Amino acid sequence: MLTLIRDANIVTQNAERQIIRGDLMVRDGTIEQVGGTVRGSADVEIDAAGDIVIPGLINTHTHVSMAILKSIADDLPFPQFLNKVFAVDAKRTERDIRAGAAQGCVEMIRSGTTTFLDLYYSEDIIAKAVDQAGIRGILGWAVLDQQFTTQSGDPLENCKRFHQQFKGRERIYPAVGLQGVYVCSTETFLGARDYALENDLLLTFHLSETRKEVSDCKRKEGKRPGDYLSSIGFLNDHCVAAHAAWLTINEVRALAAAGTKVSTCPCSNMKLATGGVAPLPEMFQNGVTVSVGTDGSTTNNSLDLFGEMKTLSLLQKANRWDPTVLPAQKVLDLATIEAARAVRMDHLIGSIEVGKRADLVILNGKAANLRPARADTIVSNLIYSSCGGNVKTVLCDGRAVMLDGVVTTMDEEKVLLDAEDAANSLLG
């Protein structure tokens, strides 16, 4: 299968961060040529004259099936928010989990996300929606102490079964997801760590999202969450810690020493008013790999990484009183090549380079909010001016999952009607 994208502005995200005007050739899902003019024809040809091509975006913290719970607990204090969401979550069925995951996948496709890292239970159900959508899902089955879970059986054993059932599947990557220090004992953390490392699986977990989480952990374990996880030998280079908003410099250094990565989720933390801003400058100074996540649709209401990238940059600038603290190019890095490093896939995705998988997003370069489109302003426009609505075409593994604004892998109208019906049944 040969695909040609003609005459595009290609934001490569390679080591030199080159922006190249020309053609892009994909053969059997692999990028074969970047730039120049490709002579001859192809099975699929896409005219991208004046358009912008970027690597597929990578969302490193989601709860994708919560898409149908959007807006059910807005504008509430955090304790009331949790009570409302947990009450609904306890009633969820396979049907509405599948419907929510399908809706979430459509939303991500439409806003240029081709890979996401999820943390939830029933990932076997979610995997079916991801497979249908044709994007790449790293699916972390939620692991926590049995006394706190609504899952049937032992969560870690459920996670292991999910891995055994889905390992080796195309675009489905089982992972281990830990809820957090507030519901996971040392034994649970270490059991999950051992299984993940033995099977080369990603470990993802919530870390220091709120001040209460930190104070509770200090009372229970005598240490802050990051220090505690470091002291028990849990942290390692397979870890992606979500939020990481309430960290000390010593905890940042512990993450760096262990090779643990971070997924910062600015919109979620700001919307819930949990306080704390992830100390990204210190993370960069100490060599922590940082990426961007949207979190779930109850805390953010959106899975659009373009909006998340702009918010992240503005939050960090405002918080530090420094407009240079997180420039546009660095923000784009966090959603592409740095995110690929965070999920241990930078050899496959995250940049547009020969030999990598063809995860590609084409944005309408003629849109008013992206003009004027000069080479020296394209990246700034992507971060500060664009939105998911600018996305025209999306390829994952070389396959067009959206072409000229039409989702090709799913019946979008049916997906949204099913999600609406499932939400109505669940929420009453």
pLDDT tens column, 52-67: 999 999 999 999 999 9
| pLDDT at res. 399 | 97
Cβ neighbours for 150, distance < 8 A, ≥ 6 positions apart: 89, 90, 121
Say what angle helices 328-335 and 305-320 make with each other, to 10 degrees: 130
Low-confidence ranges of the chain (pLDDT < 70): none
pLDDT, residue 86, reads: 87
Q: Which CATH architecture has domain 2-55+357-407?
A: Roll (2.30)
Q: Hey, is 77 helix, strand or coil?
A: coil
Distance (Å, whole) CA 339 – CA 188: 27
Contact 42, 3 (CB under 8 A): yes
Beta-strand runs (E) in 283-385? 290-292, 360-363
Q: How far apart are CA 249 and CA 270, in angstroms?
A: 22
Fold of 57-342: TIM Barrel (3.20.20)
Strands across the sheet containing 239-243: 57-62, 113-120, 136-143, 172-178, 203-207, 239-243, 261-264, 290-292
For 89, the 3-state DSSP assignment is helix
> What residue spans define the domains of the chain?
2-55+357-407, 57-342
Residue 218: per-residue pLDDT: 97
- Which pLDDT does position 374 carry in this prediction? 87
What pLDDT digit, counting tens, does each position of 74-103 carry?
A: 999 888 998 999 889 888 999 999 999 999
Token duo for residue 205 = 């977990």
